[in-house]
Chains A and B, each alone.
Chain A
């Protein structure tokens, strides 16, 4: 049984085939990088796995369980969470509150808890806030806990999206271009963080264009082209494949 298995998934938008008989599996505890030309269907496959988009045909299963028909919430319950290319943080909330939104099963997050047992809510929130602080510390943002998202630098915002994902407690994290637009120092931070997460038994599926980042984090690389898995292998195998270099990498690896 594979950890995550995508089998024969097809998705069309209008006349456009975004995913075309897409097949792959990923292994638990590894970092798998998903690369491929723009428009190859990388974000689309994220949307299918996380229940934001229904596949026309085909199936996705996670730890042997079929995900078809499950809502995004139910899929997070099973242990899969994703980030977005355009971050989608809550800009009017603080960094800490953004992480708190990710923590599941909080007392007082329903109207009854909030209104009928306010003291218990306050008490349990102390523990939840401590947990959120730990997560912020883990990604190196503890000093920014009280800062509103709009006042964070881009690099910090990217780290915060990872913190919010971690708060969900999901084991499989789908990261959409976590390193794009980051300066070199911030890049080192995110690379270190992703490696650390792997050491903590998280499984990562990462869409990334920055070949240097892929080289440093990937255990396996999946190459997606026109909605179809075109190749799979180690970084060296993928980057030394002339056909893939032609469509994707160019001359300066």
Chain B
């Protein structure tokens, strides 16, 4: 489904972080959202998820307006966020973590089931009964990624999924995301500092600087342009 941001402004307290952010992600498309630390990428993702309110502007998903819908409602519509940091339940075991989320998000005909997750990250299968908090940093990141992706996401918002992951797993994960996007017409926004990997799978690139969009175009155009001055 198409995700569309129209002139979104948002911030914390008296601080404005986003000003007039607009972009569209079409069905099946992966949008790489790039920019340096503090450019407003995470705030954009949180605003789309309804974790912080937009001060002005409007977000629509398919035919529906998201404005006013709370986070739970947005998850119900198929939006999923891999949060910054590690969004897992550290006191629960690996399987318990997965079951808790699967109970809500997985059903018959899920796009990405629990088995698919174990196939993608076999180490989670080996560590099924270990407390999530006792996994290594990278393994926790795999689990967090798993919790975001299982079920039938229609729009996947990934905030730095590659952090702490070994290089070949990053590659596998990104390929997997691309496959789901293409086969299920899912949309995805990928916030990444691993620019090379992000651009490899992205259909479009949006670059932010100081809360504003400074570039919106194809990966090849991005490579050729002078936007890298912002990095």
Contact = CB atoms under 8 A, between A and B. Distances in A.
A39 interface: yes
B196 to A, nearest CB: 8
Interface residues of B, number: 36
B137 interface: yes
A140 interface: no
A148 interface: no
B5 to A, nearest CB: 22
Q: Is the interface of A mostly helix, strand, loop or mixed?
A: loop
A43 B136 contact: yes
Interface in A59-74: none
A205 to B, nearest CB: 16
B36 to A, nearest CB: 4
Interface residues of A, number: 36
B125 to A, nearest CB: 13
Interface in A31-47: 36-40, 42-44
A7 B228 CA distance: 46
Interface in B109-163: 123, 127, 130, 134-139, 141-142, 160, 163
A250 B37 contact: no
A241 interface: no
A147 to B, nearest CB: 12
A181 B86 CA distance: 13
Interface stretch (A48-56, A109-117, A129-137, A182-190): A182-190
Interface string A210-250: 11000000000000000000000000000000000001111
Interface centre among B139, B193, B195 (most CB of A within 10 A): B193
B193 A38 contact: no
Contacts of B168: 247-251
Nearest to A14: B130
B136 A39 contact: yes
Contact of B37 (A40, A43, A154, A251): A154
B135 A186 contact: no
Give the top 10 A-B pairs by smallest Cβ distance, nearest first: A38-B138, A250-B168, A183-B36, A153-B38, A184-B231, A155-B37, A250-B171, A153-B37, A39-B136, A154-B37
Interface of A: 13-14, 16, 36-40, 42-44, 85-86, 153-156, 177, 180-187, 209-211, 247-253
14 contacts: A16-B127, A38-B123, A38-B136, A38-B169, A39-B127, A43-B136, A43-B137, A155-B36, A155-B37, A182-B37, A184-B193, A185-B231, A209-B166, A252-B171
